Structure 1
Amino acid sequence: TYTLQYPAPGSPALAAHMRTLLEQAGFASAENAERGFDHGVFIPFMLAFPQADIPVVEFSLQKALDPAEHLAIGAALAPLRADNVLIMGTGLSYHNLPHFMSGSPATDEPAKAFDAWLTRSVCAPPPERTAQLTHWAQAPGARLCHPREEHLLPLMVAAGAAGQDYGQQIYSDTVLGKALSGYRFG
């Protein structure tokens, strides 16, 4: 991915508005206009918007990797939806690359169990969804599927921004024996 380019424009005005919303909710933030897009941003956007003709503002995860904090950050950013801003949380419902690439069938069932739990949680009524996602690490197969949170927490931001909208599973497949899902809200 280091050789790929995605020259989408940024939006300093949107970034400033995001910072205002975050600060109003009690979250400190900073801007870095020099940093390029992470592969978790430009790879999905290359597929969804190949012309790179929409402004993109990347939001970094918080250092503590606390799911409740990321759900609250999403809630703080929810007003952007009324301004026709797409809030996209990229990542995977399964992200344990050593197990993924090994092809070991020993991890297939835990991956299916976590994927089923995640789908039930994302599609649950919003208060239940928030409670379950906050404690995702206790789900069956959770730490096998996500030894670290970085590829799951973007979903928390999107779920927090969804407010009272229910989640929907819009993608489901098995790749190399591992269950993978994608979701949308609203």
Structure 2
Amino acid sequence: MTRAVQPALFVSHGSPMILFEPSPARDFLAGLGSQVARPDAILMLSAHHDMAGPVATASPAPPTIHDFGGFPQKLFDVRYPAPGDPALAAEVAALVGGAGIAVALDGQRGLDHGAWVPLLLAWPDADIPVVQLSISSAHPPEWHYRVGQALTPLRERNVLIIGSGSLTHNLRAIFAERRDHDAAVPEWVSEFADWVQARFDVGDRDAVLHAVERGPHGRRNHPTPDHILPLFAAMGAGGAQAERLHHSYTYGVLAMDAYRFG
């Protein structure tokens, strides 16, 4: 039986309350599992696993990490008991190491909410093995693209590679302006999201890699780079040709775009 060749995906995971708050982005993530062939394993690169260098989770039973505060207790009660895959973690380390980037293995770390929140919506049975590979805000977009390129062979082994972050991510704007879930979208947010899509439309990979510097209001949309870096890894793993699978906003300033590469 021929194994599926998986795409690489980028998803915007938003607030962990997406699990309970109705939205177009929640509906999209809840249907994501039906848009791709069932993978044998999932490799997540989450904005919330940010290390000095790449670290792959190698626990056979990664715990659910509640890496947030100030939310209702029901969110802290959620668990996502997907198995890990130490053999896949070792393969990830070998592939990225082959590109000249050493990877450490962490046999204790679990799944942060950038991983388990979208996974819970898309694959609620938690029966697909999951490994996380960290991003690194200490390294530039091109480095993340190279990491993604090194991971490309996994797609032919029916491993789904997902970068999980946010196309725009300015939390200060949410809290300082006390934005509600359905707040209006300011132009400085929509112009950036539209610019990224336009660059993808013409295949301008270099422009997307430097969206924070070159895109309209790039620094305002990404005061820190962590939530856009998973996009660059997904691009590297799947190729710069992108299909936008979803486009919406929550809290006005979080663009919840999702992309498919390859």
Q: Is the shorter-chain TM-score for this pair beyond 0.5, marking a shared fold? A: yes
**Cα gap change, 1:123 to 1:53, in 2 (>3 Å):** farther
Give 1:97 shift. 1.1
1:84 to 158, 162, 167: 158
- Are residues 1:70 and 2:157 paired? no
Give 1:174 shift. 3.0
Aligned residues: 182
Give 1:118 shift. 1.6
Give 1:124 shift. 3.7
Q: Distance in 2 between matches of 1:18 and 1:56?
A: 12
| Structure 1 residue aligned with 2:194 | 116
Check conservation: 1:65, 1:150, Cα contact below 8 A: no
**Mind listing any 5+ residue stretches in structure 1 that lack a counterpart?**
none
Check conservation: 1:94, 1:146, Cα contact below 8 A: yes
- Are residues 1:135 and 2:213 paired? no
| Structure 1 residue aligned with 2:222 | 146
**Cα gap change, 1:85 to 1:124, in 2 (>3 Å):** farther
| Structure 1 residue aligned with 2:244 | 169
- Larger % of strand: which? 2
Give 1:133 shift. 2.5
Offset from partner CA, 1:144-168 (integer Å, 9 cap, x none): 111111111111110010136x211
Q: Distance in 1 between matches of 2:125 and 2:200?
A: 31
- Are residues 1:21 and 2:95 paired? yes
Give 1:123 shift. 4.0
User: 2:237 is aligned with what amino acid?
Assistant: A
CA RMSD of aligned residues (A): 2.0
1:47 counterpart SS class = helix
TM-score, length basis structure 2: 0.65
1:75 counterpart SS class = helix
Deviation >2 Å, runs of 4+ = 100-107, 120-125, 174-180
User: 1:118 is aligned with what amino acid?
Assistant: V
Check conservation: 1:115, 1:180, Cα contact below 8 A: no
Offset from partner CA, 1:112-150 (integer Å, 9 cap, x none): 11101122234442xx21x11321222111111111111
**Mind listing any 5+ residue stretches in structure 2 that lack a counterpart?**
1-15, 17-65, 67-75
Check conservation: 1:78, 1:163, Cα contact below 8 A: no
Give 1:5 shift. 1.3
- Larger % of helix: which? 1
